[in-house]
């Protein structure tokens, strides 16, 4: 077992055009590029049975922390933080978040702690119920590192990358 450290430089984009130009991963994944919207992303995302979005109250990685719920600043400003329902991504339903939310399939959860510092109790309360295998009523045993590994693999695959890559978010 080893320790992996990552040095990340924070850049918070104020201008949507600069964000779309500078970031390679999230604008594509979030269908934020108007002439490159992918209907398959929206179809797959909106077909989820449930989406549990967890915001960590002391998050110092995601800025603003509300990005965990797809909230963000208005274009060109750092105040106020818009709730997800007031963003264009939601209002125009670029990825199907609005569709999921209106169907009651989005759970907005706020927990104590720093980035990805979820307690076992909160994990059991907010995540485990959605990991149940309904056919056998057995609960899947996934760790956060397993989930992050799968997410990393999907992200690299989406970008057609076979080597390590730096992924950017609005907060990175």
In a domain, 34, yes or no: yes
In a domain, 11, yes or no: no
With contact defined as beta carbons under 8 Å apart, do 95 and 31 qualify?
yes
Q: How many domains, in total, are found in the chain?
A: 1
Evaluate the CA torsion angle 158, 105, 112, 147 in order and state its sign.
Answer: negative
* Tens-digit pLDDT string for the chain (172 aa): 444 444 444 455 556 777 778 887 888 888 888 888 999 989 998 999 999 999 999 999 988 999 999 998 887 778 899 999 999 999 999 999 999 999 999 999 999 999 988 898 998 999 888 887 655 544 445 555 565 665 665 566 656 554 444 443 343 3
In a domain, 82, yes or no: yes
In a domain, 69, yes or no: yes
In a domain, 7, yes or no: no
For every residue of the chain, DSSP letters joined together read -------------S-HHHHHHH-SSHHHHTT-SGGG--HHHHHHHHT-S-EEEEEETT-SSSSSGGGGGT-BPPTT--SSPBPGGGSHHHHTTSSSHHHHHHTT-EEEEEESSSTT---HHHHHHHTGGGSEETTTTEEP---HHHHHHHHHHHHHHHTT--S------TT-
pTM (two decimals): 0.68
In a domain, 169, yes or no: no
In a domain, 2, yes or no: no
Residue 160 CB-half CA count within 13 A: 2
Could you give the CA distance from residue 56 to residue 59 in angstroms, rounded to a whole number? Answer: 5
Q: Give the domain range for residue 52.
A: 16-158
CATH of the domain at 117: 3.40.50.1820
Evaluate the CA torsion angle 68, 74, 76, 77 in order and state its sign.
Answer: negative
């Amino acid at each position: 077992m080893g320790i992996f450290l990552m040095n990340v430089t924070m850049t918070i984009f104020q201008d949507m055009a600069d964000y779309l130009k500078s970031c390679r991963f999230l604008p594509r994944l979030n269908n934020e590029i108007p002439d490159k919207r992918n209907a398959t992303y929206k179809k797959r995302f909106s077909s989820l049975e449930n989406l549990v979005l967890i915001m960590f109250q002391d998050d110092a990685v995601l800025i603003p922390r509300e990005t965990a719920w797809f909230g963000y600043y208005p274009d060109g400003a750092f105040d106020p933080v818009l709730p997800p329902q007031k963003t264009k991504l939601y209002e125009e339903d670029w990825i199907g978040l609005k569709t999921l939310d209106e169907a009651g399939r989005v759970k907005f959860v706020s927990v104590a702690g720093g980035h990805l510092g979820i307690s076992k109790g909160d994990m059991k309360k907010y995540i485990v119920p959605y990991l149940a295998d309904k056919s056998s009523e057995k609960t899947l045993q996934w760790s956060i590192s397993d989930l992050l590994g799968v997410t990393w693999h999907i992200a690299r695959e989406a970008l057609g990358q076979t080597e390590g890559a730096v992924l950017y978010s609005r907060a990175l």
